[in-house]
Structure formats: C-alpha cells, structure tokens
C-alpha cells in the first residue's frame, strides 16, 4: 500500500538513461509518483510505468512551469517532492519519512541538500539547499518558462523558490534559494549530475535554456533574475564576455535582500577572475564579502584575487577567513533594523576546508615556511582524503624542504594509513620499512602515483616491485616511470612484452605510449623493431621509419648528415611529420633523455629545414623546451652561447634574467629584463622582473647608507616602504613556476645528464 505522506512529482523527456537510477533510489518507500512526459521518443514512459509511476502526457510548450503544474492538482499525499530524472537520492529518505509527521503545521516548505556535480572527481561538486518539498493543495504552483519558481497564491505574501531544471557548471551555478522566510532543512540528500560537461555536450541543454531565457527577457528585459541566469548560460556556452555583461547588469538591478544575490556575486566574481580581470573582481569582493561574512566561497575567491595581484599576506588571511565559515549556513545581519536571515548559500565543496587549507599551504611554501605548509596540507587531507592537489602539494613541499624520497614515501603512507601526519623531520632513516607490504592496496597505488607526480620515480618503482599491486598500475605508466628513472632496458623489455603484435591492437596504443616505446628502443641504442612498426598508424609509419634511419645514421656518422635528403623532402611538408617529430622531442626531454632529445631535435630541424631558419633559432627553441622542464642551467648555457653569437629573442632574455635573479645577481638580471622589454614591450613578466630588480638594488643602496647613518629615521622608513612594495610586486606570478619534478632537473649541467631519481 502506498504511503499518503510523500509523493514524487517529475517532468521528463527522453530520460531512459537517467530515470531508472532516480526511481531505484526511491522505490523501496512505495510512494505515489506522477511523471509528466513532455514528448519522449525513447522508452522513458515504459520505464516509468514499470516502477509503478502514473505517467501523464503533455505537449512541450517551452515552459517548465506549465509542465510541472500539470501533476500538482492530482496529488493525494500531504507532501510533494519535486525531482528531475538526472537526480537521485543518496541518503536521508527513511529519516525524511520519520521527520515529516513532526513538522509543525505552520511550516509548509522544506529545503533539501543537493550535491551538484560538475566534474568526475569526488571534490568537484557544488552544494545547494533549495526548497523542493512543500505541502500539497496549499496554493503552491510554479511560474516561469525556465528556472521555474515556486509561488503561492493567497492572502500570504508571495514566496518564490527556484527549482526544477537548473543550470550547473564549474564556473557558474544557476540553482539558488530564493527565500523570504527561513525554511527548515529536511534530512534528504540528492546528487545531481545532469550538467556535467560531457552531458551538456551531448544534450545541448545550454542552447535550449538560452532560447527560453531570451523569451523571458523579451517580456521583461530588466528582470535581474533572468539576467543572472542568462549569464550562467553564457558561461556554459563559453561566451564569457557576454556572461560578464549579463552578471554586471543583474547585480546592478538586484535588490540587496534578494536571496539569490550572494550566488550572483560568487559567479560574477569567479568569471572575472577566470578572465584575469582582477581589479574588477577585487572591487566587488572587497565590498560583498563584508555583506556576506560567512560565505566561504567569497573569501576564497577574494584570496585568489589578492594572490594574483601579489598581495600574498592579505590573500593568506582571506583563505584563513574561509576556513572559519560554517558550510552552507549563515546568519546575516541587516542594517535596516538589525533583523537576521538564515541564508542558505550555494557553495563549492571544500571552500571552507580543504580548498582553503591547500591555498594557504601553497602560499606558506612559496614564502619558505615548509613546516607550516606541510601542516596545512595535512589539514586539507583531514577534510578530504582524496583531494589530489593536497597530496601533490604535501609531496612537493617535503621534497623542497630536503627530505629524501624514502622519507617522503613513508610520510605519505603513514597519513594514508590513517596514522595522522608524521613529523617528517624525525622519520627513521635507513632501509624501506616492511610496512609497505601490509599497506592497504588502494592507498599504496594512490601513493605510488603521488610519488611519481613529484618525480620520485625510483622510489615509486621500489614500492611497486615490493608489493603485489603491480596489476593495478597501467603498464604504460610503469614503462614511462622506468624511462624517467633511466631504467631503459627494463622499459624496453616491458614494452616488447605487452605491446608487440598479438598483444595490442594499433587503436589501443595511445600516441604517448607509442613514443615511450620508440624512445626505449633508441635509448638502448637499438633501431625500432618490426613489432613497433606493426602497431604504428598507417599515416605515421613512414615518419617513424625515416626518423629511425636518420637517428641511426646520426649516431654513427654525425658529420655525414646532409641538410635534407630526398627521402626527407618527401615528408618535410606534411603536418603529420611535424607533429610526430615535435611530440617525440618533448617526450624525450620529459623523461630526461637529453642527448637523445637533442639528436631528435636536430632531425626535426632537418625535416622542417625550409621553416626553421638559422641554427641559432633551432638552438633557442631547444633551450626553451629545456627551460620549461626545469633544466635551467643547461638551457642558460645554450642561451648564453646564442647571445654571444647573435641577439636573443625576448623569451630567451627573460629566462636568462630569471636565472640570474634566482642567483641574486639583480643588476645583471635587470639588464636582461630591460633588453627583453625593448624587443617585446608588452611582456609583463619582464616588466615586473625589472621592477623587482630596481627595488632590490634601491634597498641595497639604502642599507649601505644606513650602515653609515644608522639613526636616520627617513632612510629606515624608505627601506620599510620599499620592502613592503617588494613583497607585493615579487608576489605577483611573474616567475616561472617549478614543482618537484622540475626542481630535480635544475642541477643538471650538461646534455649528457640522464634524468635519475635523486634522494633529497
């Protein structure tokens, strides 16, 4: 017998893939269910009936509210729960059935919690708490073609609630509570994933929504809520400038007490930051975060804006403020009489915890406070165990602080086992502990990937060899790690075993895997095998053959190579040849086979001889590639040679200047930054670098004067003022960012240096 307490009401169209999951999450409560089908051409109505739902048929009138209202008069239950097919219950259903009879009769609307997923990661979600539950036959109905609102007719004041088919995206979120009064929060929790990027691409929902919103705006061009949702839809369509314009107009027209206003501010500011319009974002957030002091997302965005403007100390404080906010609920005071309002904020998961802690840890690491940084990364992981940026950051800061790879591994494993964060400074030195053998396999696999992410390939391979989780690691990853650890013979053996004809079909071997196989052959001094050539794509086979023959010739008789043979000319104009050659060179540098990379780079130049210009141009290009991968000293030596023979381009001058700045040679670095600006006046990184050098030189001059006149208050004040400006300017993201992988390469001093796993 169906209960008369709670009924489910839905509208659907072509939802055969989503509907079973939704109804499966509800079927055990045996409740009344009305499903209004607006013209499905698939099996949606049949599926609904198999679950015992009453299916109503209606023509689609480009009006979500019209469709939702069809079933409401038919409800025979006390409460109505409105759902969408791309939502499903995760918890709280039984609790809800126990909770509803206890709700006071004066309360006719209830909020629920919805986890709106915008990505595949467990942390990629936005939490909202809209009204979806309301008492039947109490005058409630929906209004609005799109982003339909729950309204109530009668003597009481109008109540609106955004519901139904809402827009979700990583950049912007459309669903927002529009509360005049505070509705209690029911214990029901849902997941909504209908606006994942993959789903949006398949179903064209933003285009449909845009059409309906534009019709609403034809009726009321200055309606702030429709303008807000217009901005959301433009975000989903990638039309960012139009989105910013819509958000700006909406914010200008929206009343301060409009309940969707906090999320409008959030989405507007996030779009401005994403468009690098930091001054505008700063101006908005500086005011609005005071208006909504417990909205963690605004503090997080403000911190990000400050950080990008170089105001790192203030950014840290703003991130810390975000961690003080309660998730989702805030008591907001208003100046018009001191009344308070319970506001349910739409918030990105982790804004007041792991995201904020990770941002704080990153800043602490940048300022050299490694112990504090490691602690903050640990707090982030305490909040979200699977948050990948925190794991990567923890490994990175441990490596930067001088820990051996063995101790980094043990620290990570200790935390993954739930033993809490170890004091990595007191870890036992010596052989790898036997605890690896008894570690939970999932944790061990995760830690292996974290270690390889920070460049500790040899340590990761030791853990892999010592445990039974090899089958959990993709063979392509194992081969790549072996190459990075310079275990080239093992890499080749594994590639031949798994990727020879009969073991793999050509469509299953990705381009990166094929390049690693080729590099394993060449790094062992061998020609490409027939097994390799048999798995190459037809349009690439000749390119691989020519590269293999020329590389063999270059290694045996480097001086006999001609600029371009007839065989090369046959392929030198093909875009396929250029793409393959470029990617192979990049992959060789990535795995640390620099001598091989240099040879391949020369071959690529021969293949593209009519496009690459002089030898100096080719060398600069290779130096640029090396620099980006952290081989700063090797790249600097090449760039210096180029500079002595000819002029460098702006990029090369900047990188040389950055290298000298890192070594404290401010005057020489300044000269190079200025030369870079002469060639490229709009190169803002060089402009900031020059400003930083000027300030450091000025501070040094003032310090020398203070030695002679230590009691000069004017000089001391000037020094302090310059020091503050320097912190702000140097805090701007002008320098090339290197992580643990690249830092390991910075000590390489020559192209014969093979990448290896350093401990420390």
Task: Read off the pLDDT of residues 253-301 as tens digits, 9 standing for 90 and up.
Answer: 999 999 899 999 999 999 999 999 999 999 999 999 999 999 999 999 9
Per-residue pLDDT for 202 more than 70?
no
Cβ partners under 8 Å of residue 61, min gap 6: 67
More confident site: 447 or 558: 447
The per-residue pLDDT for 464 is 87
The per-residue pLDDT for 16 is 96
Per-residue pLDDT for 740 more than 80?
yes
The per-residue pLDDT for 406 is 95
**DSSP code string of 376-433:** HHHHHHHH-TT-HHHHHHHHHHHHHTT--HHHHHHHHHHHHTTS----GGGPPPSSPP
Task: Read off the pLDDT of residues 545-575 as tens digits, 9 standing for 90 and up.
Answer: 888 988 888 877 765 555 555 455 445 446 7
**DSSP code string of 558-580:** GGG--S--HHHHHHTT-HHHHHH
Which domains are delineated in the chain? Answer: 1-153+185-194 (3.90.550.10), 474-612 (no CATH), 650-745 (no CATH)
SS3 633: helix
Q: What angle do CA 354, 356, 359 make, to 5 degrees?
A: 105
* Residue-wise burial string across 209-248, b where 16 or more C-beta atoms lie within 10 A, e elsewhere: bbebbeebbeeeeebbbbbbbbbbbbbbbebbeebbebbb
Q: From CA 518, how far away is CA 584, in angstroms rounded?
A: 9
More confident site: 559 or 451: 451
> What six digits make up the tokens of 683?
């190169």
**DSSP code string of 316-356:** HHHHHHHHTS-SSEEEEE-TTTS-EEEEE--EETTTTTHHH
Query: Quick check: 670 and 693 in contact, CB under 8 A?
Result: yes
Beta bridge partners of 330: 343
SS3 7: strand
Query: Quick check: 750 and 635 in contact, CB under 8 A?
Result: no
Task: Read off the pLDDT of residues 7-58 as tens digits, 9 standing for 90 and up.
Answer: 999 999 999 999 999 999 998 888 899 999 999 999 999 999 999 999 999 9
* Residue-wise burial string across 384-413, b where 16 or more C-beta atoms lie within 10 A, e elsewhere: bbebebbbbbbbbbbbbbebbbbbbbbbbb
Handedness of CA 27, 29, 31, 34 (dihedral sign): negative
The per-residue pLDDT for 558 is 60
Beta bridge partners of 3: 31
Q: From CA 99, how far away is CA 152, in angstroms rounded?
A: 23
Per-residue pLDDT for 171 more than 60?
no
Q: From CA 531, how far away is CA 453, in angstroms rounded?
A: 30
Nearest CA among 68, 257, 205 for reference residue 144: 68
Per-residue pLDDT for 536 more than 90?
no
Residues across the chain: 760
Tally of CB atoms within 10 A around 611: 10
The per-residue pLDDT for 205 is 83
């Amino acid at each position: 017998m169906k209960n008369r307490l709670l009924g489910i009401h839905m509208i659907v169209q072509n939802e055969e893939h989503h509907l079973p999951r939704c109804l499966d999450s509800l079927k055990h409560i045996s409740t009344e269910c009305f499903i209004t089908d607006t013209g499905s051409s698939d099996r949606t109505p049949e599926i609904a009936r198999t679950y015992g739902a009453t299916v109503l048929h209606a023509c689609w009138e480009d009006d979500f509210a019209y469709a939702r209202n069809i079933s409401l008069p038919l409800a025979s239950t006390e409460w109505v729960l409105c759902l969408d097919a791309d939502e499903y219950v995760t918890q709280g259903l039984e609790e809800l059935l126990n909770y509803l009879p206890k709700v006071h009769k004066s309360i006719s609307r209830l909020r629920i919690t919805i986890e709106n997923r915008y990505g595949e990661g467990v942390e990629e979600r936005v939490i909202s708490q809209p009204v979806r539950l309301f008492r039947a036959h109490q005058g409630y109905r929906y209004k609005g073609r799109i982003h339909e609102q729950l309204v109530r007719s009668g003597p009481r004041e109008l109540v609106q609630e955004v519901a139904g088919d809402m827009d979700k995206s990583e950049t912007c979120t459309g669903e927002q509570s529009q509360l005049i009064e505070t509705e209690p929060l029911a214990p029901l929790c849902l997941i909504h994933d209908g606006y994942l990027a993959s789903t949006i691409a398949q179903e064209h929902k933003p285009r449909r929504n845009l059409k309906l919103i534009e019709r609403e705006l034809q009726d009321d061009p200055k309606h702030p809520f429709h303008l807000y949702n217009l901005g959301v839809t433009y975000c989903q369509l990638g039309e960012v400038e139009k989105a910013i314009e819509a958000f700006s107009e909406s914010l200008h027209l929206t009343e301060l007490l409009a309940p969707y206003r906090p999320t409008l501010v959030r989405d507007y500011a996030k779009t401005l930051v994403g468009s690098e319009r930091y001054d505008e974002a700063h101006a908005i957030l500086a005011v609005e975060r005071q208006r909504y002091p417990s909205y963690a997302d605004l503090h997080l965005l403000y911190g990000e804006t400050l950080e990008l403007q170089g105001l790192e100390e203030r950014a840290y404080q703003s991130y810390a403020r975000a961690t003080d906010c309660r998730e989702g609920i805030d008591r907001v005071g208003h100046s018009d009489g001191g009344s308070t309002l319970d506001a349910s904020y739409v918030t990105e998961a982790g804004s007041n915890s792991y995201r904020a802690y990770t941002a704080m840890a990153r800043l602490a690491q940048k300022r050299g406070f490694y112990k504090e940084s490691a602690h903050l990364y640990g707090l982030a992981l305490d909040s979200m165990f699977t948050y990948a940026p925190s794991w990567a950051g923890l490994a990175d800061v441990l490596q930067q602080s001088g820990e051996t790879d063995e101790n980094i591994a043990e620290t990570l494993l200790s935390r993954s086992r739930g033993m809490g964060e170890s004091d990595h400074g007191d870890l036992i030195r010596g052989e790898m502990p036997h605890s690896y053998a008894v570690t939970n396999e999932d944790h061990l696999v995760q830690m292996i990937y974290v270690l390889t992410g920070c460049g500790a390939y040899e340590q990761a391979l030791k853990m892999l060899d010592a445990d039974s989780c090899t089958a959990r690691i993709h063979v392509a990853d194992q081969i790549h790690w072996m190459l990075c650890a310079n275990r080239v013979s093992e890499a080749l053996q594994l590639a031949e075993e798994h990727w020879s004809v009969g073991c793999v079909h050509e469509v299953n071997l990705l381009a990166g895997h094929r390049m690693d196989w080729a590099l394993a052959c060449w790094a062992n001094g061998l020609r490409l095998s027939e097994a390799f050539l048999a798995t190459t794509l037809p349009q690439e086979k000749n390119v691989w053959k020519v590269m293999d023959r020329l590389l063999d010739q270059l290694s045996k008789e480097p001086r006999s190579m001609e600029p371009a043979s007839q065989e090369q000319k046959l392929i030198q104009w093909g875009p396929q040849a250029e793409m393959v050659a470029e990617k192979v060179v990049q992959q060789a540098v990535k795995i640390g086979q620099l001598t091989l990379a240099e040879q391949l780079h020369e071959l690529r130049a021969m293949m593209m001889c009519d496009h690459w210009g002089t030898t100096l141009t080719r060398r600069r290009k290779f130096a640029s590639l090396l620099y980006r991968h952290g081989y700063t000293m090797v790249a600097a030596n090449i760039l210096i040679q180029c500079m002595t023979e000819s002029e460098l381009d702006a990029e090369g001058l900047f990188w040389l200047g950055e290298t000298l700045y890192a070594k404290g040679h401010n005057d020489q670095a300044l000269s190079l930054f200025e030369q870079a600006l002469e060639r490229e006046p709009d190169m803002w990184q060089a402009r900031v670098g020059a400003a930083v050098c000027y300030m450091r030189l000025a501070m040094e001059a003032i310090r020398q004067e203070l030695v002679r006149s230590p009691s000069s208050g004017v000089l001391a004040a000037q020094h302090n003022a310059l020091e503050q400006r320097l912190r702000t300017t140097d805090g701007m993201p002008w320098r090339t960012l290197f992580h643990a992988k690249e830092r390991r390469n910075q000590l390489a001093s020559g192209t014969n240096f093979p990448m290896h796993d350093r401990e420390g």
